[in-house]
Amino acid sequence: MNSSALPNIPWEDRPHGCSEVVWRYSRNPIIPRNLIPSSNSIFNSAVVPFNGRFAGVFRCDNKKREMNLHRGFSEDGIQWHLDDTPITWQCKDPELARFEYRYDPRVVWLEDRYYITWCNGYHGPTIGIGYTFDFETFYFLENAFLPYNRNGVLFPRKINGHYMMLSRPSDRGHTPFGDIFLSQSPDLIHWGQHRFVMRPKEGWQSTKIGAGPIPIETSEGWLLFYHGVLTSCNGFVYSFGAALLDLDQPWKVIARGGPYLMSPQTLYECVGDVPNVVFPCATLYDPPTGRLAIYYGAADTVVALAFAYIDEVVDFVKSTNDL
């Protein structure tokens, strides 16, 4: 998927006078909190190209404040139609069907289907893995890890014969720590050969970090957008930045951008159910033009869109490298 052209990628040119590497869509947020009747909020969601248009898996918290995953489609990647009811999963083992909560999905085209990972409540948060071929029937494969874990993000292809997934071991609560690790698997069910990737560092990413969208393969390494959290006197502040990981041994960080690429600054990022959060879960990419569309949750309330050129992001990571 990463290598195929996407001429219909949503796009808006960088505004005149703007020198940011990542700029916001002028008509953000693209998905309001009440797009469907059942929702309290819709945020931290993942989209992919699908049959010449777009499909996605969306985090919708309902009015009981249950966190669940809903399916959506779009012609242009901007205007979305979401099901009002959550995805139902086909499970071989009924134990997997137990619902606690499901949130923060990522979606990736991997070999022959779309895989979905999400934070799955199973006696605490862990990483659920499921798949779909058609966005009609969804299969729940397994819980990848022991609790507690969040931000499970698959690579879009096997590397040296292994599936690979980034994740962030955590606790049951609003975890005040967190490093990114990588785990490897022959079959997407059994995970091991765990490797350390990176830990928080001073400033915008001083409390915890977590992988964001599916890593993008470039000639310079895997481009990883990740969120970083700092603790202020008013609580957590979620920004995001980027790093480059080694193509063959992606637990090795080649470069890590010093400044953030985006911090919560607009009204819809600073006001909502959880103020001061930008949380990217997906990108779309058009290799011929280098255009990137970044989908992020804002203030745990709405979905917003931002744009960048991949070469500029890679240059930013290298030129501000602060390993």
Nearest distance from residue 127's CB to ligand BMA, in Å?
Answer: 13
Supply the minimum distance, in Å, between the C-beta of residue 103 and ligand BMA: 6
Task: Tell me the DSSP string of 10-29.
Answer: ---PPPTT---SSEE-TT--
State which residue, 80 or 238, has the beta carbon closest to ligand BMA: 238
Q: Which is nearer to ligand BMA, 135 or 238 (CB)?
A: 238
Span near ligand BMA by CB under 6 A; candidates 152-160, 189-197, 274-282, 314-322: 274-282
CB of 104 or CB of 142, closer to ligand BMA: 104
| Residue 300 in contact with ligand BMA, rule: CB under 6 A | yes
What is the sign, positive or negative, of the torsion defined by CA atoms of 135, 58, 56, 108? negative
- Please, how many CA atoms are within 13 Å of residue 145, restricted to the half-sphere of its CB? 29
Residue with tokens 């195929």: 4
Single out the residue of 222, 279, 296, 307 in contact with ligand BMA (rule: CB under 6 A).
279
> Rounded to whole angstroms, how far apart are CA atoms 266 and 275?
11
Written in H, E and C, the secondary structure of 305-320 is EEEEEHHHHHHHHHHC
Binding track, positions 204-243, relative to ligand BMA; x by CB under 6 A: ----------------------------------x-----
Q: Between residue 72 and residue 131, which ones bind ligand BMA under the rule CB under 6 A?
A: 103-104
Minimum CB–partner distance for residue 54 and ligand BMA (Å) = 22
DSSP string, 70-86: EEEEESSSSS-EE-SSP
In the complex, least distance from residue 18 CB atom to ligand BMA, rounded to whole angstroms:
26
* DSSP code of residue 276: S
- Our CB check for ligand BMA shows the closer of 217 and 269 to be 269
Instruction: Give me the least distance between CB of 210 and ligand BMA, in Å please.
Output: 8
How far is 159 from 110, CA to CA, in rounded Å?
12
Q: Which residue among 216, 277, 281, 294 contacts ligand BMA (CB under 6 A)? A: 277
Q: Is the peptide bond between 29 and the residue preceding it cis, with omega within 30 degrees of 0?
A: yes
Q: Total residues contacting ligand BMA (rule CB under 6 A)?
A: 10
Place of tokens 């009924």: 94
Provide the 10 A C-beta neighbour count for residue 7.
Answer: 9
Burial class from Cβ neighbours inside 10 Å (0-12, 13-18, 19+) for residue 247 reads middle
Ramachandran angles phi, psi of 269, nearest 5°: -95, -25
Q: How far is the CB of 118 from ligand BMA (least distance, A)?
A: 10
Interaction pattern, residues 26-45, with ligand BMA; x per rule: CB under 6 A: ------------------x-
Q: Which stretch binds ligand BMA (CB under 6 A): 4-12, 135-143, 262-270, 272-280?
A: 272-280
Binding site for ligand BMA (CB under 6 A): 44, 103-104, 174, 238, 274, 277, 279, 297, 300
